[in-house]
Structure 1
């Protein structure tokens, strides 16, 4: 069947998303929620520009579908081709179980090659997702693709329909320790090949937002299209919130987010 991108996400509701960013920065819960919504919108848009026929939103909590439908209605006029949107609610008591439920739903739906990413990297170039799909096809599905993130995390996982969703729970791929380390142990135990994408930083803390804002500023004056996707919704929220990067005179490495 067709390929798909799954955006694994929390529904952007105040008090439930980017709570660590609210705790470590000047932004309040409402502001980080606005930022999270913008990043989700950018992620959906960049996914629509890949070599896929549909996008799946693996969302939590499952009773907040209406908020996602509002976002989809806002974005639909901007899609450059016909894209089917599927909504898969996450089910389970912990992260491994919720991730398992989404992978299981996608495979049972009939997707052959699947790319799963979060909504924390709104600047991923669509070509990186296409590269993931090509690697999966080239190796006859006998591999997984990993995009390593900061702190030993993972920002992207590429799999095929041959991937057993139960592996996620059986090997505690996300809850058993550092994610990359867990995937290394898993790959060795089941003798599966791993391809690695370039490392990228996702957004959880204030220092991550500093990096993202710097990156957006640089992209605004450069030819970013070769390697990155310009996150216009995220950039607009940064501008609307009047955010800027402040540097301490006595410590050039210490930077924080301020409001004008």
Structure 2
């Protein structure tokens, strides 16, 4: 059963793009430095922290990989979410397919997130909602490594998913250039750490200590 809201403005639909917590398939750069088991443990901590921070009345779709991991994901994160296998050849195509499907299904606003930013919380999600309701076509949450931890959309905006160098230092820059070229209005949230390697983890792990 999906979560929903009873407010006068429909809440954004959260699309969370997550991998099953299988040792050796998550946090691979971090795993090269600290080992698969510890990297998987840290990945679980990140995702659980992020899921706990979601506004309780917002509808949430968990877009998971690999496609046969639905039981593992629902047992891990709970049955209150919708679980949908990711489809597409790369991250951009997988996100694009999910966004198009959400809007076709009646979503008025969509917010895409991953599982790598431990400092993404309800504050940033509420701020994204506000900026979308203010009329922005797009909202991005930048990361220090040149990507983004959040993308909010008030319409499909196909161009921000096409011909983008995904998982690179140019991901956000290319996305913004495409948005400008097609006349999309956008705004940025606070820049945050995206945890990919040990240096990132050293910068972010205090957040988990503060949460205890």
TM-score interval, normalised by the smaller of the two chains: 0.7 to 0.9
Correspondence for 2:73: 68
Q: 1:48 to 1:72 in 2, by over 3 A?
A: farther
Q: 1:175 to 1:96 in 2, by over 3 A?
A: farther
Name which one, 1 or 2, has greater alpha-carbon Rg. 1
Structure 2 alignment gaps of length 5 or more: 1-9
Structure 1 alignment gaps of length 5 or more: 77-83, 220-229, 233-260
Q: 1:143 to 1:169 in 2, by over 3 A?
A: closer
Equivalent of residue 47 in structure 1, options 48, 54, 65 = 54
Aligned positions, number: 203
Greater share of residues in strand: 1
Deviations 1:236-260 (A, max 9, x none): xxxxxxxxxxxxxxxxxxxxxxxxx
Structure 1: distance between partners of 2:121 and 2:206:
17
Structure 1: distance between partners of 2:51 and 2:193:
18
Shift of 1:103: 1.2
Structure 2: distance between partners of 1:175 and 1:33:
19
State yes or no: 1:17 paired with 2:26: yes
Shift of 1:123: 3.0
Equivalent runs, 1:71-82 vs 2, <5 Å: 71-73=76-78
State yes or no: 1:182 paired with 2:174: yes
Shift of 1:174: 3.0
Structure 2: distance between partners of 1:60 and 1:109:
21
Correspondence for 1:238: none
Structure 2: distance between partners of 1:201 and 1:185:
22
- Runs of 4+ displaced beyond 4 Å: none
CA RMSD of aligned residues (A): 2.1
Correspondence for 1:163: 156
TM-score, normalised by the number of residues in structure 2: 0.87
Correspondence for 1:249: none
State yes or no: 1:149 paired with 2:138: no
Shift of 1:125: 2.6
Shift of 1:173: 6.3
SS in 1 for 2:50: helix
